[in-house]
Chains A and B, each alone.
Chain A
């Protein structure tokens, strides 16, 4: 236990790096994911096709392999990213945006077709149908799955530990090697930091979900 207390500053700086990775790539993948979702429901088949190929390829590739691409493969093509968090953020964004896209798309699809038909029937224009009827309902159903994707992202930032980024998991590994007699408390300490993010986020997702179900 004393190793956890004496090394607390290292835990905190690892936690800070995990947060930086999660927040930066979270924001970026939300933006990219929503653009992709818009492309997937666009009336232009070429955009739909492109977005579908992107999403299906990325979703079926392991995250570790995406990291390998940005850290080990791109440099052989003469594109050298600074080592550390930049390739990690890019890899996490590329990966997570595909899942955000799917969450948003299924949220839009979950709004009953009758809602749109009813809106059209009372004479609302396309823009009004979207802004007054579809989007307000879609946003509510979309929030819980998006929170779940962001929770997965937070856990996925740990993959960066294998690619020279010193975040929580990597800190845990280093400290374990320095204090071989206290590995269990150290790793449980790391776990506690992850739970600090994932459990409250999970509770929020659950609460929103119940609220949405109630509203239906």
Chain B
């Protein structure tokens, strides 16, 4: 909703006031930022600590640092996410089919499992894999991510099934398809395209959650950052932190853009 509805159309005077107030607030924000930077400068954030990113000490090269962050760190993060996401998707399908089953007990059990998994922290599931199933830290991360996201994706698929026009399933039944064929041939192909944006968003959540590997002892991006600042000393923490935040922002904002683009594409196709 635009704010314009709430007020009479602003005249030149109001527009000018708005602009002036906006400018004042901008200056205030800028002043706040400057104060923050000033106090940071007093604490030495502008000294040579940033060199770790382009000309690191201890006979390392910038290539070494960035290679460890991007190739090793991000690589391990993506590895966990890219194994967990398809596994979660397959499991979500099984949950969704079980939930749709005509057998009351099967569908009830499926609902119970989904609710159980959805109500729990991912980290707890990772610990479960690590301590109860005695998995190594990588498998524990994948285990936690897979189970949790399977439950969420199952809910996404269910929402998609509910959103499909009922005539689709009815037409399938009318031409003599079984429940399973109906799901496989008629419903799921439509649900997946319909729900693709939500599935991409969920993949972003999964990617972010893989950072919990930091706590479980999996050597992903955050752990690589920690290894780096343990090596280069405490002053390198801020630059390395900023570098890692930027990597996450670039990866996940690109993925969100992709989700929006897909959503628009789909909306145009249906129009």
Contacts and interface: CB of A to CB of B under 8 A. Distances in A.
A161 B123 contact: yes
B3 interface: yes
Contact of A108 (B1, B26, B127, B238): B1
Contacts of B6: 116, 120, 126, 129-130, 134
Interface of B: 1-3, 5-7, 18, 21-23, 25-26, 29, 40, 43, 45, 115-116, 118-124, 127-128, 131-132, 204, 208-209, 211-212, 214-215, 222, 225-226, 234-235, 237-238, 241, 244-245, 248-249, 252-253, 256
Given A45-B22, A65-B248, A68-B222, A159 B215 contact: yes
B131 A173 contact: yes
Given A76-B238, A159-B212, A169-B121, A126 B131 contact: no
Contact of B237 (A41, A76, A162): A76
Nearest to A41: B3
Nearest to A156: B121
A36 B72 CA distance: 37
Nearest to A138: B1
Interface in A100-116: 108-109, 111, 113, 116
Interface size, A (range): 35 or more
Contact of B45 (A62, A64, A77): A77
Of listed A64, A77, A183, A191, residue having the most chain B CB within 10 A: A64
B249 A162 contact: no
Nearest to B33: A50
B124 A190 contact: yes
A172 B225 CA distance: 27
